[in-house]
Amino acid sequence: MGARTKARRRAVDILFEAEQRGVDPQVLLADRVIEPHQEASVPQYTVELVEGVLAHQERIDELLATYSHGWTVERMPAVDRALLRVGAWELLFNDDVPDAVAVDEAVDLAGQLSTDESPTFVNGLLGRLLDIKPTLLA
């Protein structure tokens, strides 16, 4: 597993855990960042992902709700919600990650972490955001 894939998984873990525990994800992230260059420290890309999702969460959730066809964001499985937020942030707000990579990584993690139906759901929703990305960023 590549470094960025591990960082994505850690970001999903942090967002999921914060939601389940009812704590601020920023506080949980700060708790996970111990000392730079230590074994237990959180990768910098994980920090960027969590902070990016939090900075744009309202817009991301609005887009997920709009294009998920019959699913409110609150009704989505919590793991899928975290995966979609990370994937959407990479797709729409991080120009360093190719669009196909953002979608593929989210789909792969959905296959590892969530239900049997989740990879198809994540792929479809992020694929829809990819299709309309030019109009979203115009």
Closest CA to 114 of 79, 65, 75: 79
Q: Answer whether 83's CB lies under 8 Å from 113's CB.
A: yes
- Region 112-134: mean pLDDT is 95
Going by pLDDT thresholds of 50, 70 and 90, the confidence category of residue 4 is: very high
Residue 121 has pLDDT above 60, yes or no: yes
Rounded (5°) CA angle 121-17-78: 25
Distance of alpha carbon 122 from alpha carbon 32, whole angstroms? 27
Structural domains counted in the chain: 1
CATH of the domain at 24: 1.10.940.10
- Region 5-10: mean pLDDT is 96
Show the domain range for 26.
Answer: 3-136
* Number of CB atoms found within 10 A of residue 104's CB: 14
For the stretch 39-69, pLDDT in tens is 557 899 999 999 999 999 999 999 999 999 8
Structure tokens at 135: 């109009």
Enter the pTM of the model. Answer: 0.93
Predicted confidence at residue 40, as pLDDT, reads 58
